[in-house]
A and B are shown apart, each in its own frame.
Chain A
Amino acid sequence: MKVLTANRLADGEAVWYANGGWAEIIDNADLADDKATEDRLEAIGATALANNEVVDVNLIDVTVANGVVVPVRLREKIRAAGPTNRNDLGKQARPEAARAA
Chain B
Amino acid sequence: MYRYDEFDHDFVQARVAEFSDQVARRLAGEITEDQFRPLRLMNGVYLQLHAYMLRIAVPYGTLNSKQLRMLGHIARKYDKGYGHFTTRQNIQFNWPALSDIPAILADLASVEMHAIQTSGNCIRNVTADHFAGAAADEVADPRPYAEILRQWSSVHPEFSFLPRKFKIAVTGAERDRAAIQTHDIGLHLKKNAAGELGFAVYVGGGQGRTPMIAKKIRDFLPEADLLSYCTAILRVYNLYGRRDNKYKARIKILVHETGVEEITRQVEAEWQELKDADLKLPEADIRAIDAYFAPPALVDRPEGDEAVKLARLDSKSFSEWLDQNVVTHRHPDYAAVTISLKGIGEAPGDASDSQMEAVADLAEKYAFDELRVSHEQNLILPHVARADLKAVYDVLVDIGLATANSNLITDIISCPGLDYCALATARSIPVAQEISSRFASLERQREIGELKLKISGCINACGHHHVGHIGILGVEKKGAELYQVTLGGSADENTSVGEIIGRGFSSEEITDAIEQIVETYLGLRLDRNEKFIDAYRRVGPTPFKEALYAGETKAA
B195 CB–A CB distance under 8 Å: no
Which residues in window 14-67 of A have CB below 8 A to B?
A: 14, 49, 51-52, 55-56
Docked pose: A13 CA to B430 CA in angstroms: 23
Residues B29 and A85 in contact, CB atoms below 8 Å apart: no
B307 CB–A CB distance under 8 Å: no
Residues B98 and A9 in contact, CB atoms below 8 Å apart: yes
Residues A10 and B33 in contact, CB atoms below 8 Å apart: no
Report if A12-B52 is in contact (Cβ < 8 Å); known contacts: A56-B47, A75-B418, A85-B429: yes
From A13, which residue of chain B is reached at the shortest CB distance?
Answer: B51
Residues A72 and B479 in contact, CB atoms below 8 Å apart: yes
Report if A75-B49 is in contact (Cβ < 8 Å); known contacts: A11-B99, A89-B80: yes
Residues B51 and A84 in contact, CB atoms below 8 Å apart: no
B220 CB–A CB distance under 8 Å: no
Report if A55-B33 is in contact (Cβ < 8 Å); known contacts: A7-B47, A10-B27, A12-B97: yes
Which residues in window 61-95 of A have CB below 8 A to B?
A: 72-75, 78-79, 82-86, 89-90
B329 CB–A CB distance under 8 Å: no
Name B29's contact: one of A52, A73, A75, A84 (CB within 8 Å). A52
Docked pose: A55 CA to B45 CA in angstroms: 14
Residues B50 and A14 in contact, CB atoms below 8 Å apart: yes
- Interface-central residue, A10, A12, A13, A51, by most chain B CB under 10 Å: A12
From B347, which residue of chain A is reached at the shortest CB distance?
Answer: A85
Q: Which residues of A contact B433 (CB under 8 A)?
A: 85
Residues A11 and B49 in contact, CB atoms below 8 Å apart: no
Residues A84 and B430 in contact, CB atoms below 8 Å apart: yes
From B46, which residue of chain A is reached at the shortest CB distance?
Answer: A12
A24 to chain B, nearest CB (A): 11
Residues B49 and A79 in contact, CB atoms below 8 Å apart: yes
From A77, which residue of chain B is reached at the shortest CB distance?
Answer: B418
Residues B99 and A10 in contact, CB atoms below 8 Å apart: yes
B439 to chain A, nearest CB (A): 18
Residues B26 and A90 in contact, CB atoms below 8 Å apart: no
Docked pose: A4 CA to B426 CA in angstroms: 23
Name A9's contact: one of B27, B96, B424 (CB within 8 Å). B27
Which residues in window 57-100 of B have CB below 8 A to A?
A: 80, 95-99
Residues B33 and A85 in contact, CB atoms below 8 Å apart: no
Residues A90 and B98 in contact, CB atoms below 8 Å apart: no
Docked pose: A14 CA to B51 CA in angstroms: 7
Residues B420 and A9 in contact, CB atoms below 8 Å apart: no
Residues B479 and A90 in contact, CB atoms below 8 Å apart: no
Docked pose: A101 CA to B448 CA in angstroms: 42
Residues A12 and B51 in contact, CB atoms below 8 Å apart: yes
Docked pose: A7 CA to B429 CA in angstroms: 23
Q: Which residues of A contact B80 (CB under 8 A)?
A: 89
Residues B418 and A12 in contact, CB atoms below 8 Å apart: no
Q: Which residues of B contact A86 (CB under 8 A)?
A: 347, 419
Report if A83-B47 is in contact (Cβ < 8 Å); known contacts: A10-B99, A11-B97, A72-B479: no
From A75, which residue of chain B is reached at the shortest CB distance?
Answer: B418
Docked pose: A10 CA to B36 CA in angstroms: 13
From B80, which residue of chain A is reached at the shortest CB distance?
Answer: A89
Residues A78 and B49 in contact, CB atoms below 8 Å apart: yes
A14 to chain B, nearest CB (A): 6
B427 CB–A CB distance under 8 Å: yes
Docked pose: A70 CA to B117 CA in angstroms: 38
Docked pose: A12 CA to B46 CA in angstroms: 10
B173 to chain A, nearest CB (A): 35
Report if A55-B47 is in contact (Cβ < 8 Å); known contacts: A74-B481, A78-B418, A85-B419: yes
B158 CB–A CB distance under 8 Å: no
B476 CB–A CB distance under 8 Å: yes
From A93, which residue of chain B is reached at the shortest CB distance?
Answer: B80
Docked pose: A7 CA to B96 CA in angstroms: 13
Please encode chain B, from 468 to 507, with 1 for each CB lying within 8 Å of some chain A CB and 0 for all others.
Answer: 0000000010011100000000000000000000000000
Docked pose: A14 CA to B429 CA in angstroms: 21
B26 to chain A, nearest CB (A): 7
From B100, which residue of chain A is reached at the shortest CB distance?
Answer: A11
Docked pose: A75 CA to B95 CA in angstroms: 17
Name A83's contact: one of B97, B419, B479, B481 (CB within 8 Å). B419
Docked pose: A78 CA to B424 CA in angstroms: 12
Docked pose: A52 CA to B34 CA in angstroms: 11
B366 to chain A, nearest CB (A): 31
Q: Which residues of A contact B429 (CB under 8 A)?
A: 83, 85
Residues A7 and B51 in contact, CB atoms below 8 Å apart: yes
Residues B49 and A14 in contact, CB atoms below 8 Å apart: yes
Name A78's contact: one of B26, B33, B419, B480 (CB within 8 Å). B419
Docked pose: A55 CA to B433 CA in angstroms: 32
Residues B98 and A12 in contact, CB atoms below 8 Å apart: yes
Residues A52 and B26 in contact, CB atoms below 8 Å apart: yes
Q: Which residues of B contact A51 (CB under 8 A)?
A: 29
Docked pose: A2 CA to B98 CA in angstroms: 28
Report if A83-B51 is in contact (Cβ < 8 Å); known contacts: A73-B479, A74-B476: no
Q: Knowing that A10-B99, A11-B51, A12-B98 are A-B contacts, what are 17 other residue pairs whose CB atoms are under 8 Å apart, sorted by A's residue number? A: A7-B47, A10-B97, A11-B52, A11-B98, A12-B50, A14-B49, A52-B29, A73-B479, A74-B418, A74-B427, A74-B480, A75-B424, A78-B418, A78-B419, A79-B50, A85-B429, A86-B347
Residues of A within 8 A of B (CB): 7, 9-14, 49, 51-52, 55-56, 72-75, 78-79, 82-86, 89-90
Q: 24 pairs across A/B with beta carbons < 8 Å?
A: A7-B47, A9-B98, A12-B48, A12-B50, A12-B51, A12-B96, A12-B97, A12-B98, A14-B51, A52-B27, A52-B29, A52-B32, A56-B47, A74-B476, A74-B479, A78-B418, A78-B427, A79-B49, A83-B429, A84-B430, A85-B419, A85-B427, A85-B429, A89-B50
Residues of B within 8 A of A (CB): 26-27, 29, 32-33, 47-52, 80, 95-99, 347, 418-420, 422, 424, 426-427, 429-430, 433, 476, 479-481
What are the 5 closest A-B residue pairs judged by CB atoms, nearest first? A11-B97, A12-B51, A83-B419, A52-B29, A12-B52
